[in-house]
Amino acid sequence: MKKLEAAGIEVNRERKYLRFRLSPEDRYTRCDTLKGDYTEQAIKERITGARIVKPRRTSPQKPVSKVGLLVDIEAAIRSGKGPGYERWAKVFNLKQLSQAVIYLKEHGDMSYEDLQEKSDAVTASFNALSVQIKELESQMAANGELQKQIVNYAKTRAVYVEYR
């Protein structure tokens, strides 16, 4: 408790519960109103290091949304969407454009040529990975057929040996 007082926290033990306050202007905070184990003994154990308290779980943070595609407003209106959808689509498109501008500012002011180069590189990488995936899938299909034939052989081998 002396360490708390040395840190500038006023400790009051006059009543039934232990109370703290940071400055004389603040109101006291009673330990029994706090969530968790805040008895005088528990606080002493935490200060000395005899008790280790796990930090509370924080709520999962919302994933950063990526820049998406724009909505074709004119095509949507032609297909029978109403004025509410038109308003929503305009706001949505503005948000997407603002995210694109923010992305460009964060990654340096890129020119159209830089974006084209990045796009070409990503497209080439995607195509190469797609070809590799297709090759592996065909190998897996061939291996599956081979496994099936091996199982059939193992099942019928005993019959063939007896037949001979």
pLDDT of 65 strictly over 70: no
Domain match, 136 and 101 both: no
In a domain, 150, yes or no: yes
CA proximity to 93, closest of 67, 115, 111: 67
Structurally, how many domains does the chain consist of? 3
Q: What is the pLDDT of residues 117-158, one digit of tens each?
A: 888 999 999 999 999 999 999 999 999 999 999 999 999 998
Domain match, 12 and 32 both: yes
Tokens of 52: 């280790």
Domain match, 117 and 97 both: no
Q: What is the pLDDT of residues 27-56, one digit of tens each?
A: 888 877 777 777 778 878 888 888 887 777
Q: What is the pLDDT of residues 11-28, one digit of tens each?
A: 887 777 788 888 877 888
Domain match, 75 and 117 both: no
Domain match, 105 and 115 both: no
What type of residue is 106?
E
Domain match, 125 and 162 both: yes
Cα(82)–Cα(73) distance, integer angstroms:
11
Residues of the domain holding 102: 65-109
In a domain, 58, yes or no: no
In a domain, 101, yes or no: yes
In a domain, 60, yes or no: no
Domain match, 162 and 120 both: yes
DSSP-assigned beta bridge partners for residue 19: 12, 30
Cα(150)–Cα(12) distance, integer angstroms:
81
Domain match, 78 and 120 both: no
